[in-house]
Copies of this chain bind each other. A is one copy, B any other.
Amino acid sequence: MADVAGITREELQLAARNHGMPLEALRYDVTPSGLHYLLIHYDIPQIDADAWRLHVGGLVARPLSLSLSDLRQRSTVTRSVTLECAGNGRALLAPRPLSQPWLLEAVGNAEWTGVPLRDVLEEAGVEPSIAELVFTGFDRGVEGEIEQAYERSLSIAESMREDVLLAFAMNGEALPPQHGAPLRLIVPGWYGMTSVKWLSRITAVGEEFGGYQMATSYRFRSDPAEVGEAVTRVRPRSLMIPPGIPEFLTRSRVLDAGTHEVRGRAWSGLGAIERVEFSDDGGGTWSDGRLDAPHRDSTAWRGWSIEWSASPGERVLCCRATDSTGATQPLEPGWNVGGYANNAVQRVTVTVRG
């Protein structure tokens, strides 16, 4: 794993704004709202929820203009969904792509309540000519020298999945401003950039949308000149609650020798989690952890644990998830220009006291 050094002012400014989930919060199945990760491209917009309306237009048969109370009066669903930022792990790449410098904390699992997107699209009329839906947020800024509202598209097939939500509540309460109030998209299984916050409108289009966040950003490239593949679904990852107690500045950890239960969570947007392994020698040898019972919602992370016999010395703890497609976590990161989807195994250094 590369060392991290020389973070720039720009990166620090982003790190000061965008919140990670301290890893001990992996103990909560439902991440408290204030501990859920946040990645906000521009500023949190100021929106009057009473005057706000969602506009659904473009190639639909019947354009809609919906108020928040229109949406609340529909049949609603609550679903536990694990969201992870596509840039999680970016600051562990070398050379380090300049953007939000996430280590491993850009994740959270919340209870989202809202209306299935499919229901709204069916009411608007899903014409055969529709290829994609474009989701436009109220947040506005400049990126790649282009002034823009944050805007992402999703194919009509993905948009019609039953688990895609237009969410107005998080953990049983109205969405907080920073999580997209009054309404946001939630697309389980995809990296977080897909779940557009502060929705303003949904536009049905007949061809692939070429906006900045689709064609320029969020693509896997080994060279900036490439077109690259789109970043889509979440690669498998497991994280553990770092055992022991930390040193304030270095975050290095100490604990006493003996048997400790190590716990964590694992998730994948490609398939169900089928295995989590644990190593206390930096990935040299591995033992299978126990998986908790599957979550009620397949869109949520899955708990895992292992009894660890800690003998004195310095130990490097690792965990590695494998999903039902056979996808697993690499020991070393794969590099790309944007620093996306680095799901290399977590390493936690612990000094075990005799």
Contacts and interface: CB of A to CB of B under 8 A. Distances in A.
A44 interface: yes
Interface stretch (A32-40, A120-128, A318-326): A32-40
Interface string A208-246: 000000000000000000000000000000000010011
Given A5-B6, A142-B254, A15 B17 contact: no
B10 A8 contact: no
A141 interface: yes
Contacts of A14: 249, 251
B24 A248 contact: no
Contact of A245 (B13, B16, B42, B103): B42
A99 B247 CA distance: 12
A165 interface: no
A12 interface: yes
B177 A35 contact: yes
A29 B148 CA distance: 29
Contacts of A6: 5-7
A16 B254 contact: no
A4 interface: yes
Given A142-B247, A247-B143, A20 B22 contact: no
A17 B34 CA distance: 12
Contacts of A143: 247-249
A167 to B, nearest CB: 16
- A28, A35, A91: most-surrounded residue (chain B CB, <10 A): A35
Interface string A100-125: 01110100000000000000000000
Contacts of A147: 245, 254
A11 interface: yes
Contacts of A36: 34
A28 B178 CA distance: 12
A42 B248 CA distance: 6
A16 B7 contact: no
Contacts of A3: 9
A98 interface: yes
A91 B4 CA distance: 18
20 contacts: A5-B8, A12-B15, A16-B101, A17-B22, A22-B40, A22-B178, A24-B44, A32-B176, A33-B33, A34-B34, A34-B36, A34-B178, A34-B179, A35-B176, A41-B248, A43-B242, A43-B245, A99-B249, A141-B245, A142-B246
Interface of A: 3-17, 19-20, 22, 24-25, 27-28, 32-36, 38, 40-44, 46, 91, 98-99, 101-103, 105, 140-143, 147, 176-179, 242, 245-251, 254
The 10 closest A-B pairs by CB, nearest first: A34-B34, A7-B7, A4-B9, A15-B15, A142-B247, A143-B248, A16-B20, A24-B43, A19-B19, A17-B22
Given A17-B20, A34-B179, A43-B245, 16 more contacts: A6-B6, A7-B8, A7-B11, A12-B15, A13-B103, A13-B250, A14-B251, A16-B105, A19-B34, A22-B40, A34-B176, A42-B248, A98-B249, A142-B254, A143-B247, A147-B254
